Amino acid sequence: MGLSDSYEHGVVRGVVRYAREQTHWSLYGAGWMFRGLGNIDSWEGDGIIARVESRKQAQLLAGTGLPVVDVAGAYLLPELHPVTNDDFNTGRRAGIYAATGGFSRFAFCGVADVSWSHVRFAGFQEAVGAPIPVFEQPLTWWERPEEYGQLAVWIRSLPKPAALFACNDTAGIKVTALCRRLGIAVPQEIAVLGVDNEDILCELSDPPLSSIPLDCESIGYRAAAELRRLIEKRRTLRGRHSAKDRLRDIASPFPVIEPLPIVERTSTQTIPTLDTVVRRAAEFVRDRAGTKLLVSEVAAAAAVSRRTLELRFRAVTGRTVHAEILRVRMQHAAKLLRETNLPVRAVARQSGISTPQRFYVQFRRAEGCTPDEYRRRYRR
């Protein structure tokens, strides 16, 4: 791995953490920052952890005869042992997020000819249960920022409002940039969700891009543990069977690592409706996520009676205004738990909830665990 992005940095942190817990482990880096391995066939190492991103690279590593753990999952060969993100559940989580956000029209931008993109699409489609327009291009195409080609035609053709799931942040940022050029409002006409949470890039996107973070450090840690298992198993089997038999004996179910909770930014913060009253109310609630907000205050901001607002809000979202206030509060609280060291009492207060006891009850109802459990699981 060349340590070229936050995914590789996170994976390597996990590998290093695992290596420090072992005895007699030596790590060798290959990439632009390190001395090259030269002819890898003659390298006298015990195993390889790699981010395999081309068929040529996959075949080269498969031919070494060494145990190889792949942390990308783009090209699946029997000789490569993937330890990757749970891509199906990533797509499924994106679909649930879009559907519960009130969208009934969906779209997907993917990378052609790589497994992880196809699996994310499959999870997304299962969750939304509706036909999905798809636009795919090779990764190198997505990485060329000024090349749009048929993407502009495709974006214009989408029924709106729509929720668009981009298989990674590179595609998501390209979509938001193109929408800005075309005068298509994000998120009001097209809400865009990416994957990887490359935080600097996501924040610099216009508007800032919502994204699903991957638990890269856990992927790296588990990949190192899997490599150790493969090396030890290989040593016990050496000389007993043919190479093909040894490969079959070494094989095991592929470990997959759950993604982290969605980081919500402006690119998805909308309710898909032409009803300006409902949209104004939702924006007012979101802007005051950390305050003690009353439904009557929301109605006043939307310039309608409380009864009118309740009827129109429920018709569009299926939720009461009070339920929307609680939902936004819990999202805000979860963000504080993940990203700050604030005590739970302070998180409750900054989420507009007066007592920790009430906060614990509401948070458990929303997230299925206590605030303390949530922080231990997802703290960055």
Indicate the helix (H) or strand (E) that contains 49: strand 48-50
pLDDT tens for each residue of 311-360: 999 998 889 999 999 999 998 999 899 889 999 999 999 999 989 999 99
Instruction: Indicate the pairing of strand 134-137 with strand 162-166.
Output: unpaired
pLDDT tens for each residue of 183-199: 999 999 999 999 999 98
| Range name among 71-80, 127-136, 268-277 with the lowest pLDDT average | 71-80
pTM here is 0.83
The string of DSSP codes covering 305-342 is: -HHHHHHHHHHHHSS-HHHHHHHHHHHHHHHHHHH---
Mean pLDDT, rounded, for 278-291: 91
Domains, in order of start, for the chain: 6-83+216-257 (3.40.50.2300), 87-215+261-267 (3.40.50.2300), 276-378 (1.10.10.60)
Residue in 37, 83, 24, 32 with CA at minimum distance from that of residue 64: 37
Q: SS3 of 359, please?
A: helix
| Range name among 4-18, 233-247, 348-362 with the lowest pLDDT average | 233-247
At residue 274 the predicted structure's pLDDT band, cuts being 50, 70 and 90, is confident
Most confident of 62-71, 185-194, 228-237: 185-194
At residue 1 the predicted structure's pLDDT band, cuts being 50, 70 and 90, is low
| Range name among 240-254, 277-291, 352-366 with the lowest pLDDT average | 240-254
pLDDT of residue 332: 92
pLDDT at 246 exceeding the cut of 50: no
pLDDT at 301 exceeding the cut of 50: yes
pLDDT at 61 exceeding the cut of 80: yes
pLDDT at 202 exceeding the cut of 80: yes
* Residue % of the chain over a pLDDT of 70: 91
pLDDT tens for each residue of 14-40: 999 999 998 888 888 766 545 555 566
pLDDT of residue 250: 47
Instruction: Output 251 or 110, whichever has higher pLDDT.
Output: 110
Is it true that the peptide bond before 207 is cis, omega within 30 degrees of 0?
yes
Contact (Cβ atoms closer than 8 angstroms) between residue 259 and residue 90: yes
